[in-house]
Amino acid sequence: MRRWQLGPGWLGAVLLMAPLAGQAQQSAHVHGAVRLDVAVDAASVSLQLEAPLDSLLGFERAPRSDAERRAVEALRVQLAQAAALFAVDAGAGCVAQAPVIKSALLDGAAKAGEHADLEASYLLRCRQPGVLKVIDLNGLMTAFSRIQRVEVQVATPGGQLKQTLKRPQAMVRLTR
Ligand SMILES: [Zn+2]
């Protein structure tokens, strides 16, 4: 069982004790699913997307054809467009920073015969992140039609909540 499927109280205790990086490594590799960790603080919203490459690209090895090479380039371009993937209320005054994308395949180092993941980290600097009630993932779901499920974990000053979005659901709630 993955840690974050346990009760929120237990999870809170783990978050106090364990660094977040350790948590991220626990997640499962399920084709068609992605994981999104959202953290809201007084001045920013951070979004950590962790996905099997199959969920984004449909394959997890080095591209073998021009079409597959184009798909990899298109993925790179799509992932760079934070505002197109994650929509937030304009009233929060958020500006997206350049994302950090980690993937052996995008770096040309995919190993044949192995599953491969991608991690993309987004940071929105916001004047008033507290006004945000939801984050709209319709852009993400439209860009990547293979995503069927998003496992979301949200941490805000008001507490933590987790939710599972199943297509066509695409709204991440930031409050209970
Ligand atoms: Zn895989």
Tens-of-pLDDT digits for all 176 residues of the chain? 344 443 444 444 444 444 444 444 456 899 999 999 999 999 999 999 999 999 999 999 999 999 999 999 999 999 999 999 999 999 999 999 999 999 988 888 877 788 999 999 999 999 999 999 999 999 999 999 999 999 999 999 999 999 999 999 999 999 98
118: in domain: yes
Number of domains in the chain: 1
Ligand 1 centroid – CA 116 distance (Å): 6
13: in domain: no
DSSP state of 18: S
DSSP state of 133: -
Neighbours of 49 (CB within 10 A): 23
Whole-prediction pTM: 0.83
Ligand 1 centroid – CA 60 distance (Å): 6
Contact 165, 137 (CB under 8 A): yes
Ligand 1 centroid – CA 17 distance (Å): 30
d(CA 142, CA 147): 9
63: in domain: yes
Domain that holds residue 56: 29-173
Ligand 1 centroid – CA 119 distance (Å): 14
